[in-house]
Copies of this chain bind each other. A is one copy, B any other.
């Protein structure tokens, strides 16, 4: 389920994603205004304006005060600013996928290309090949050096074309090599 932060930001965008509501906010930027006044300005019927104001109020962007039967609405600038600022932050944006399983993609690719321990084929697309390579490199320990023959043997357990895969691992900088010795950087 989506976080409360996510819902707030979504309803913020929904609130401002309509031409009439954007104009209402514009009109309220310079002055508080009654429903009838807004209706006249925007050439809409009062119920329509009322409907829009309800959405803006829901998002916390406007507040209302009564004066007799007149309802006078004003912008909540602090909320406008707070929400806008939050959208500006990359940290906040990243949380938009909070409820999504982040490794769904990798698991799918691994499932598609492996049959048990055996790699059925080397993916043509770089994106997918990367997933396979990241899995392969996990077969190597960090605190060890490997001779080329060992590297070939380990990769060979999963796919016959160990030469290509070895080269790709180096190329992707997942494995390092110097004078015939390999290790995980």
Contact = CB atoms under 8 A, between A and B. Distances in A.
Interface of A: 2, 6, 9-10, 13-14, 16-17, 19, 22-23, 25-27, 29-30, 34, 37, 40-43, 67-70, 72, 77, 80-81, 84-85, 87-88, 90, 93-98, 100-102, 104-105, 108, 124-127
A13 B6 contact: no
Copies of this chain in the oligomer: 2
A27 to B, nearest CB: 5
A49 B104 CA distance: 16
A25 B29 CA distance: 29
Contacts of A96: 22-23, 25-27, 29
Contacts of A30: 94
Contact of A13 (B17, B77, B100): B17
Nearest to A102: B41
Given A10-B19, A13-B22, A80-B88, 10 more contacts: A13-B13, A23-B97, A26-B93, A27-B100, A30-B94, A37-B127, A40-B108, A41-B102, A43-B104, A68-B124
28 contacts: A10-B19, A13-B13, A13-B16, A13-B17, A14-B17, A16-B87, A23-B96, A25-B96, A26-B93, A27-B97, A30-B94, A34-B127, A37-B105, A40-B105, A40-B108, A41-B97, A41-B100, A41-B104, A67-B125, A68-B124, A68-B126, A69-B125, A70-B127, A77-B90, A80-B87, A80-B88, A81-B88, A84-B87
